[in-house]
Amino acid sequence: MIRAHTTPQVRAAEADLLARLPEGALMQRAATGLGYAVLDLLGAAYGRRVLLLVGSGDNGGDALYAGALLARRGAQVEAWLLSSSAHEGGVAALRAAGGRIGAVRPAEFDVVVDGIVGIGGRGRLRPGAVAALEAVAGVPVVAVDTPSGVDVDTGEVDGPHVTADVTVTFGTHKTCHLVDPAAQACGAVHLVDIGLDLPEAPVEALQAADVAALVPRPHLDDHKYTRGVVGVRAGSAAYPGAALLSVAGAACGLAGMVRYDGDPAALDLVRAAHPEVVGPGRVQAWVVGSGSDTGAEDAVHRSVADGVPLVVDADALAFAALARGRPAVLTPHAGELARMLDVDRAEVEARWLEHARLAARRYDAVVLLKGRHTVVARPDGRVRVTTTGTPWLATAGAGDVLGGLIGSLLAAGLDPFAAASVGSWLHGAAATLASRHGPIVASDVAAAVPALVATLPTP
């Protein structure tokens, strides 16, 4: 599991550790990890030109000590001090190692180390920092802890900021490493363990081993009914494709049986594509999805009345309030969530985390906000971010497959938060597997799920 802690949580853990360690030890751990990560990126130190952008706090201190490490290995290291004060010990260490400090001449650098601000950054970057970033545009950047200029605890971005190739963070991940748009500015994120003892994280991201432990697997004495039956109410005579794709997602094999209870006109098409699908009957979870035409309200009503968990997607989201307080997963994209909350789409896209949490609270249900890094929020504010996927997944019908997949996990017994986060992880990973860097369509994603599940480590 990747866990992202808040700045106050990190500060508290840091204070606890600082009290038990010799002075400067924590920063040495951080700076050493940072120095080696820069070395990794450069391939070698000797003769390489490294520019440190140094702010006034400990983030700059980390950059200076890492610069000293690189200078001792033969790199030409220059520090551009962006504030009237800088970490004194770090400045002395860099000087002692042969690094240069002061006015930086226009020169070509192999890498820029962004030590402007980390978890102590407040508000927009100051003009001097912005000018420095413009002067080094195009040079690969390693960000220290967080890309300067992004909001660490929300993942929001308001104004100029560093766009890093690599971000080296310390002790734990921060929200900005997972949540867009800030996550897009991080590049590859490398975590250096500095020994912090941390509480439960409010934001996390499942990894393959976590999914392997959560994904339902049949027991020796299971039969199709004990593995769970998922029912699909999506599609119509006018929109049979939505029925086919929702069923494709539900019929990936993670539940024991799939029932289709949509428009009878679509049932023949569904059966032709998925002969294993049966007609209406008892289920352990419903998927009420897209293309139900005018039948969406009735479909949500009947599914809620059944008392089993449900997925509410697409057209049905207009009636999501009917599922309030039920075990439900609502699966809007940004535009749909904007309508559910009566705000502009741009506001949702600027503040993913806030809006996903707000909707989960307001609808008293798990909300899965679809995006590059999908955000799954529980009413109590706990969040999982999906980091699997490929840009090729932005294709028609992919959401229908996701809804069906989550429904099958609900039917198999996963709680709504687990079903949504595991389903989203599998959906993204299956897309990557199917795509192999090339184009895909939604049915390819569903078709790749069984092979993907087979590659998961056995827990």
Burial of 44 (0-12, 13-18, 19+ CB in 10 A): exposed
Q: Is 400 in the site for ligand NAX (CB under 6 A)?
A: no
Q: For ligand NAX, which stretch binds (CB under 6 A), given 49-57, 393-401, 425-433, 447-455?
A: 49-57
Residue located via tokens 């706990």: 382
Q: Is 10 in the site for ligand NAX (CB under 6 A)?
A: yes
Among 114, 156, 315, 400, interactor with K ion by CB under 5 A: 114
Cα 99 to chain center, whole Å?
38
Q: Is 182 in the site for K ion (CB under 5 A)?
A: no
Which of residues 58 and 313 has its CB atom nearest to ligand NAX in the complex? 58
Q: How far apart are CB 62 and K ion at their closest, in Å? A: 9
Contact letters for ligand NAX, residues 65-104 (x by CB under 6 A): ----------------------------------------
Which of residues 4 and 258 has its CB atom nearest to K ion in the complex? 4
User: CB under 8 Å to 159, separation ≥6 — which residues?
Assistant: 124, 125, 149
Between CA 152 and CA 173 the distance in angstroms is 10
Q: Is 57 in the site for ligand NAX (CB under 6 A)?
A: yes
Q: How far apart are CB 55 and K ion at their closest, in Å? A: 8
DSSP class per residue in 137-183: TTS-EEEESS-TTB-TTT--B-S-----SEEEEESSEEGGGTSTTGG
Which of residues 128 and 327 has its CB atom nearest to ligand NAX in the complex? 128
Q: Which does 114 bind (CB under 5 to 8 A by kind): ligand NAX, K ion, none?
A: K ion
Residues near ligand NAX (CB under 6 A), total: 28
Q: For ligand NAX, which stretch binds (CB under 6 A), given 102-110, 118-126, 273-281, 366-374?
A: 118-126
Q: Which does 280 bind (CB under 5 to 8 A by kind): K ion, ligand NAX, none?
A: none
User: CB under 8 Å to 296, separation ≥6 — which residues?
Assistant: 288, 315, 316, 318, 319
Contact call for residues 448 and 434 (beta carbons, < 8 A): yes
Which of residues 145 and 210 has its CB atom nearest to ligand NAX in the complex? 145
Between CA 390 and CA 388 the distance in angstroms is 7
CA angle 91-74-101, nearest 5°? 25
Query: What beta strand segments (E) does 16-59 contain?
Result: 49-54
Would you list which residues are annotated within the binding site for AMP?
Answer: 370-374, 399
Q: For ligand NAX, which stretch binds (CB under 6 A), given 53-61, 314-322, 366-374, 416-424?
A: 53-61
How many residues comprise the chain? 459
Would you list which residues are annotated within the binding site?
Answer: 58-62, 114, 118-124, 145, 148, 242, 291, 333, 370-374, 399-400
Distances (CA, A) of 113 to 10, 90, 218, 322: 22, 14, 50, 52
Task: Specify the DSSP element, H or E, that contains 260.
Answer: strand 257-260
**Residue 279 CB neighbour total at 10 angstroms:** 12
Which of residues 194 and 406 has its CB atom nearest to ligand NAX in the complex? 194
Site residues for ligand NAX, 152-191, by CB under 6 A, read 170-171
Cα 179 to chain center, whole Å?
5
Among 2, 6, 9, 27, interactor with ligand NAX by CB under 6 A: 27
Between CA 142 and CA 115 the distance in angstroms is 9
Q: How far apart are CB 204 and K ion at their closest, in Å? A: 23
Site residues for K ion, 148-167, by CB under 5 A, read 148
Note the residues at the interface with K ion (CB under 5 A).
Answer: 114, 118, 143-144, 148
Note the residues at the interface with ligand NAX (CB under 6 A).
Answer: 10, 14, 26-27, 30, 55-60, 62, 117-126, 129, 144-145, 170-171, 194
